Chain A
Amino acid sequence: AQTVTQSQPEMSVQEAETVTLSCTYDTSESDYYLFWYKQPPSRQMILVIRQEAYKQQNATENRFSVNFQKAAKSFSLKISDSQLGDAAMYFCAYRRGGTSYGKLTFGQGTILTVHP
C-alpha cells in the first residue's frame, strides 16, 4: 500500500523568508501524481501544486515550487517570499495514475506559522 509521511508536525517562518516543507512517500507504482494541499483556518482544501511522476521538471506555481526526487521518493514544497496568508496546514498527497482511480493518500500534515 502507498504511504505518505510528513515528518514535520509544525514549521514556522518569518514573513518574506523562504520555508521548505518535507514529504516522503512509498509506492511500487511508476505512474502516479503528487500534490500539496493547503488548508487554512476556513478548513477548505486548496490545491497548491501538482507533480506528475513522469515529468522530471519540478512543478512551480508562482511562489510555490517543489523539489521532486523520484529515486529518493521525496517531494518537498518550497514557499518563497512567505506571506501571512500562507499560514495554514499543508498536506502532501499521492494518487495513483490512471483516470478511473481517484483515491488520494494523504500525509499527516504540517502546520505552518508565518511571523510578521
Chain B
Amino acid sequence: EAQVTQNPRYLITVTGKKLTVTCSQNMNHEYMSWYRQDPGLGLRQIYYSMNVEVTDKGDVPEGYKVSRKEKRNFPLILESPSPNQTSLYFCASRDPLLEQYFGPGTRLTVT
C-alpha cells in the first residue's frame, strides 16, 4: 500500500530538548516536504526536498532542520524546541504527475 508514515503521532516535550519527527514514504517519490498546521493559518510549508541531499526552505523554516540522506526518509529536526512550535505537523511526498500524499500528522506540544 502506497503511504507516508510519520512517527511519533503524538509528542509532548519541554523547551530546549532536541527532538526528531521521522517521515518515510514507500512510493519512490523524489519530492518531499514538511508542513505545520495552526488554527486560522491553514498549513504552511516548513522545508522541502527535491531529491537526496537537496533541501530548501519553505515559508516558515526558522527553528527547524531537515536532512535527506535516503530517498524514502525525510526527518524533521527541532534542535531547541520552543512553545511557539507547538503545532500539528504533516509530512508529504509527491509524484511529479500526481498529487501529494500526506502522512497522518504528528501532534507536538512544547511546554
Contacts and interface: CB of A to CB of B under 8 A. Distances in A.
Contacts, number: 51
Interface string A56-70: 000000000000000
Secondary structure dominating the interface of B? strand
A8 to B, nearest CB: 13
A45 B90 contact: yes
A55 interface: no
Interface string A36-55: 00000011110100100000
Contacts of A28: none
B41 interface: yes
Given A44-B105, A100-B50, A103-B58, A91 B42 contact: yes
9 contacts: A6-B42, A44-B102, A44-B104, A45-B102, A91-B43, A93-B43, A99-B96, A103-B45, A108-B42
Interface of A: 4, 6, 9, 35, 42-45, 47, 50, 91, 93, 99-100, 102-104, 106-109
